Amino acid sequence: MSAPTIKLNNGEEIPVIGLGTWQSSPEQVVAAVAYAVKEAGYRHIDCAWGYNNEKEVGEGIKQSGVSRKDIFLTSKLWGTRHSEVEKALDEPWPILELITWTVRNHPAFPTLPNGLRDVDHSWKLSDTWSQMEAMVKKGKVKSIGISNFSVKKMEEILPTATIIPAVNQLELHPYNPQHELLAYLRSKGIVAQAYSPLGSTNSPLLKDEVVLNIAQKHSLQPSDVLLEWLVAHDVVALPKSVTPSRIASNLAGTLTAVGKLDKEDIAELDGLAASGKQKRFIMPPWPVDLGFDNWTAPMPQPSTK
């Protein structure tokens, strides 16, 4: 069983379901990846240097017996490495490399004495993007993309871009649907990827009564409904799990659910956030305006270093 694919703007095909690996410990991720690829049919893994488990993801792929070239691997340029894109790319082995956040920061998970992150406010995102483009031209990576880019932040790179980002990876689920941002991405030929598609750890989405009712109506699991809602919107979903039964069902259940949600179900899920349930689960305390609606950032603070 393998996932259908979506064509990116450079002709590459990306499977619509990928395995997330954030918060999977190095020990867990070896088995999770080996199982996902060998037993469950995944051909797409979402990684990041900052998850501290990329080596073990590689080990999991090795143990699966499936060739690395048959797997769509994504890694992410960490906020500390905006000025050294080539060096950062020499370490992992991605097919797709994304800029993780729109912020250049100092140490890996930096905090100032006031608890906010230590950000380089003068860094130009277009300088990071031109280094990313150079990597494609050099043949070091097939596709490049972005993550956590609002329209405001995309407009900081698009006017001078010679390569349009292939994807924008965002927090997307019915509590944070970002409808206008998705419409903007469609207009630019950029595929949206959903992170935290189930609502991340201890998700209330899996217990939402609208989601439960739709699941019951079609004899599906709540997770199938959430993932199919994304796929129905041509969004690539990246559910994370280290539990074999969930790894399997997140792919197989979505494939079973494809086409089952009717127009009313989709409309109901589309409207959940506007009905008063809008919620983001992943909000690092960046002391800058990232340009998203529904995200009140902590006010910029001068460095006290």
20: contact with ligand NAP by CB under 6 A: yes
Q: Strand order of the sheet with strand 96-99?
A: 19-20, 44-46, 72-77, 96-99, 143-147, 167-171, 191-195, 236-237
78: contact with ligand NAP by CB under 6 A: no
Residues numbered 96 to 135 that lie near ligand NAP (CB under 6 A) are: 100
- 201: tokens are 């750890």
Residue that is written with structure tokens 């956590």 in the block: 148
Q: What share of the chain is helix, strand, coil (3-state, %, to 5)?
A: 40, 15, 45
Please say if 51 is a catalytic residue: yes
Q: Parallel, antiparallel, or unpaired for β 13-15 and 5-7?
A: antiparallel
Least Cβ distance, residue 250 to ligand NAP (angstroms): 5
- Applying CB under 6 A, what is the total number of residues that bind ligand NAP? 28
> Interface with ligand NAP includes 83 (CB under 6 A)?
no
243 makes contact with ligand NAP (CB under 6 A): yes
Q: What is the dihedral of CA 178, 184, 186, 190, to 10 degrees?
A: -90
* Angle subtended at Cα 283 by Cα 248 and Cα 78, rounded to the nearest 5 degrees: 75
HSE-CB for 139 with a 13 A CA cutoff? 0
Q: Kindly write out the interface string for residues 133-152 of this chain, putting x where it contacts ligand NAP by CB under 6 A and - elsewhere.
A: --------------xx----
Minimum Å distance from CB 274 to ligand NAP? 21
Out of 35, 51, 175, 195, which one is annotated catalytic? 51
267 forms part of the interface with ligand NAP (CB under 6 A): no
Cβ at position 201, least distance to ligand NAP in Å: 4
In the region spanning residues 46 to 65, those forming contacts with ligand NAP, defined by CB under 6 A, are 46
**b/e for 50-64, b at 16 or more Cβ within 10 A?**
bbebbebbbbbbeeb
One character per residue 190-219, x = contact with ligand NAP (rule: CB under 6 A): -----xxxxxxx----x-------------
Which residue number, 131 or 148, has a Cβ lying nearer to ligand NAP? 148
Instruction: Give the whole-angstrom CA distance, residue 148 versus residue 125.
Output: 13
Neighbours of 136 (CB within 10 A): 17
Q: Of 80, 102, 249, 254, which one interacts with ligand NAP (CB under 6 A)?
A: 249
User: Is residue 80 part of the contact set for ligand NAP (CB under 6 A)?
Assistant: no
Binding site for ligand NAP (CB under 6 A): 20-23, 46, 100, 147-148, 169, 195-201, 206, 223, 238-243, 246, 249-250, 282
Positions marked catalytic? 51
